[in-house]
Chains A and B, each alone.
Chain A
Amino acid sequence: MLEAVNVSRVYGTGPDAVTALEHMRLTVRSGEIVCLVGSSGCGKSTFLSLVAGLETPTSGRLLLDGVPLVEPGADRGMVFQSDSLFPWLSVRDNVQFGLSLHETRRTHGGLMGRLYAHCDELLEQVGLWPFRDAYPAQLSGGMRQRASIVRALATRPAILLMDEPFGALDAQTREEMQLLLLKLCAEYGTTVLFVTHDVEEAVFLGDRVVVMRPRPGRAVADVAVPIARPRDRRTRLSPEFQAIRGQVLDHLYESMSTDSP
């Protein structure tokens, strides 16, 4: 379970200080998929960086299963929007990068051996097994992002952090990836914190959609998505889906209109 209590992040000091995130409160329960939506500058990516441990909060507390988060760790996996696979490593070596850092622990009760096997299993599952020896440059954008997801899941993290992971993909590939993500989550019970600016994507994936507003960045609404799983392509056409989508959009536009100076 991820808990954020009054998390703030301020860049700079004095009159030039910018509050990127103010008093963020959020709880993501185990196995839950929570999506953060909002226009640019609303602090959604900043929040993700804080959870990832890439940045430190100016104030507030971040706990993962009760343990304070201070630096990056194998308990969190992250998928970035841009291509962040190492171009000089094969798909398989990319996926095993996190594990290879802890090579020495391999002896401990065969845990590493199981994790390596888990990597191969994941590659198989996302259809990348035939491409395990290919370099990222040889893959399509969708395949590269699949590899990124597998890499993030390789260490069996307690939470998967995703920063607009499908934003750069074409519409069809994006839909395919969303379904794949849901499939993986259903299978492994993965907890996900997913940042996007695409409301439809957020509603489709999430158990909850948190709407954020900028200047200063903070959460303004927390919309539950009680649509049954498994969800598929037809889910988007249901009136229920459209109603929730409308609700989220309302919060979004409301926040935008009050935002104008």
Chain B
Amino acid sequence: MERARLKRASLFALREPIPRRVALAVTVGVFATLAVAWVVLSYGGFVRPLFLPTPTAVLERAVFLYREEILVRDIWISNVRVFSGFLMAMVVAIPLGMLAGNLPIFAAAVNPFMGFIRYMPVPAFIPLLVLYAGIDEAPKILLIFIGTAVQMTIMVGDVTRRVQPELIRAAMVLGADSREIFRKVIWRGSLPGIVDVMRINLGFAWTYLVVAELVAASEGMGFRILRSQRFLQTDTIFLYILLIGLLGILFDFAFRQLHRFAFPWIRERVRG
């Protein structure tokens, strides 16, 4: 009895690991609770379908949109937009962040400027982007680029700055020059952190999707959500929001697996 009580209490011990099965049960429990609440509230007729469509309605909607060849197309085009903007941001932010994080002259150039842009509301750029880049894919991709590149640069800078100075000193003593230190120590040492930054920023990129597809879009997940609002198609809105959430879980999982296989040196612990 006493043991059982102690055991239960230990599930709430600060920073103590809990059994895998318990963790899994809690995670599944949260999703299950939400699902049950949805089922009860919608089928039970507690909430009007306009506000909360039934799971059946959402599924039917999914089948319908799939048959109309809208669903896959929407998912595809939104992914293209998000990843185009995101990859552009990566190309700019990773080198810039590394330089700003490690060379004071770049820090002086980049950091205050990024601070200046960082608080600007991204949607406010839409009129300018339309003016400069037209109404095709360009402004949508640029919007996602602007939304993520700034945060990404700052975060990459932070991560690369956190490579221990002892490692840099050790490399210097072993005869490495600045370029070699950048490549062989700072880059290699901060790569796991950079992958984490990418994981977090991909989430940001998706949150800008709806905003990006405000711009003269005729397809895409964000566009579909906005249009469904006009026609009061709550079931479509639910469907797409859930799908974006699922995509998020998928990408997060992919990044975590990448982390796991690409950086075995973090996980490996003392043998025996």
Interface string of A67-103 (1 = CB under 8 A from B): 0000011101110101111111100000001100110
Are B189 and A135 touching (Cβ within 8 A)? Answer: no
Which segment, of A36-44, A137-145, A190-198, A228-236, faces chain B? A137-145
Q: Is the interface of A mostly helix, strand, loop or mixed?
A: loop
In whole angstroms, what is the CA distance A54 to B271 when docked? 35
B175 interface contact, C-beta 8 A:
yes
By the criterion CB–CB under 8 Å, are A101 and B189 in contact? no
Cβ B271 vs Cβ A134 within 8 A: yes
Question: Knowing A80-B166, A135-B264 touch, does A97 contact B270 (C-beta < 8 A)?
Answer: no
Pair A84/B169 contact, Cβ less than 8 Å: yes
- B38 shortest CB reach to chain A, Å: 45
Of A72, A84, A88, A98, which one neighbours B265 at CB under 8 angstroms? A88
Interface assignment of B68: CB less than 8 Å from any CB of chain A? no
Q: Name the interface residues of A128-151: CB closer than 8 Å to any CB of B.
A: 134-140, 151
Let me know if A54 and B173 touch, CB within 8 A: yes
Contacts of A77 in B (CB 8 A): 173
In the complex, whether A52 has a CB less than 8 A from a CB of chain B is: yes
Tell whether B13 is near chain A: CB-to-CB under 8 Å: no
Report the nearest B residue to A81, measured CB to CB.
Answer: B166
Q: Is the CB of B189 within 8 A of A74?
A: no
Q: For the complex, is B2 an interface residue (Cβ under 8 Å from A)?
A: no
B261 CB to nearest chain A CB (Å):
14
Instruction: Identify A138's interface contact among B191, B263, B268, CB under 8 A.
Output: B268
With most chain B CB atoms within 10 A of its CB, the pick from A80, A88, A136, A151 is A88
Point out the residues of chain B lying under 8 angstroms from A82, CB to CB: 164, 166
B3-17, CB under 8 A of A: which get 1 and which 0? 000000000000000
Contacts of B70 in A (CB 8 A): none
- Tell me, yes or no, whether B167 is within 8 Å of chain A by CB: yes
Residues facing B in A33-73 (CB within 8 A) are: 52-54, 72-73
Tell me if A155 is interfacial: C-beta within 8 Å of chain B: yes
Instruction: Point out the residues of chain A lying under 8 angstroms from B189, CB to CB.
Output: 86-88
Complex contacts, B191 vs chain A, CB 8 Å: 88
Give the chain A neighbours of B171 by CB distance below 8 A. 86, 97
| Nearest CB of chain B from residue A159's CB, rounded to whole Å | 12
Could you tell me if A138 and B271 are in contact, using CB atoms closer than 8 angstroms?
A: yes
Q: Is B107 an interface residue (CB 8 A)?
A: no
A76, chain B: closest CB distance, angstroms: 7
**Chain A residues numbered 111-168 whose CB sits less than 8 Å from any CB in chain B:** 134-140, 151-152, 155, 161
A84 to B270, CA, bound (A): 17
Residues of A within 8 A of B173 (CB): 52-54, 72, 76-78, 152, 161
A161 to B266, CA, bound (A): 29
Query: Chain A contact residues (Cβ within 8 angstroms of B): what range?
Result: 20 to 34
> Complex: how many Å from CA A54 to CA B170?
10
Task: Tell yes or no: B172 within 8 A of A by CB.
Answer: yes
- Bits for B160-198, please: 1 = Cβ < 8 Å to A, else 0: 000010110111111110001000110011010000000
Q: A72-B172, A72-B173, A78-B173 are in contact. Are A83 and B185 (CB under 8 A)?
A: no
The reply to whether B265 and A140 contact each other, CB–CB distance below 8 Å, is no
Cβ B270 vs Cβ A140 within 8 A: yes
Give the distance in Å from the alpha carbon of A208 to the alpha carbon of B192 in the complex.
45
Q: Are A88 and B188 in contact (CB under 8 A)?
A: yes
**Which chain B residues numbered 240 to 272 have a C-beta less than 8 Å away from chain A?**
263-266, 268-271
Asked whether B166 lies within 8 Å of A97 as measured between CB atoms, the reply is no
Asked if A101 and B188 sit within 8 Å, CB to CB, the answer is: no
Q: Is the CB of B270 within 8 A of A138?
A: yes
Cross-interface CB contact of A80 among B170, B175, B188, B270, cutoff 8 Å: B170
Residues on the B chain within 8 Å of A52, using CB: 173
The distance in angstroms between the C-alpha atoms of A73 and B177, with both chains bound, is 10
The minimal Cβ–Cβ distance linking B121 to chain A, given in whole angstroms, is 40
Give the residue among B173, B180, B263, B268 with the most A Cβ atoms within 10 A.
B173
Q: Which residues of B contact A88 (CB under 8 A)?
A: 188-189, 191, 263, 265
Report the separation of the CA atoms of residues A84 and B164 in the bound assembly, to the nearest whole angstrom: 9
Cβ-closest chain B residue relative to A80: B166
Report chain B residues within 8 Å CB of A135: 264-265, 268
Given contacts A80-B170, A84-B169, contact A73 B271 (CB under 8 A): no
Chain B neighbourhood of A74, CB < 8 A: 174-175
Which residues of B pack against A, CB within 8 Å?
A: 164, 166-167, 169-176, 180, 184-185, 188-189, 191, 263-266, 268-271
**Which residues of A pack against B, CB within 8 Å?**
52-54, 72-74, 76-78, 80, 82-89, 97-98, 101-102, 134-140, 151-152, 155, 161
Sorted nearest first, the 3 A-B pairs with minimum C-beta distance are A98-B174, A84-B170, A135-B265
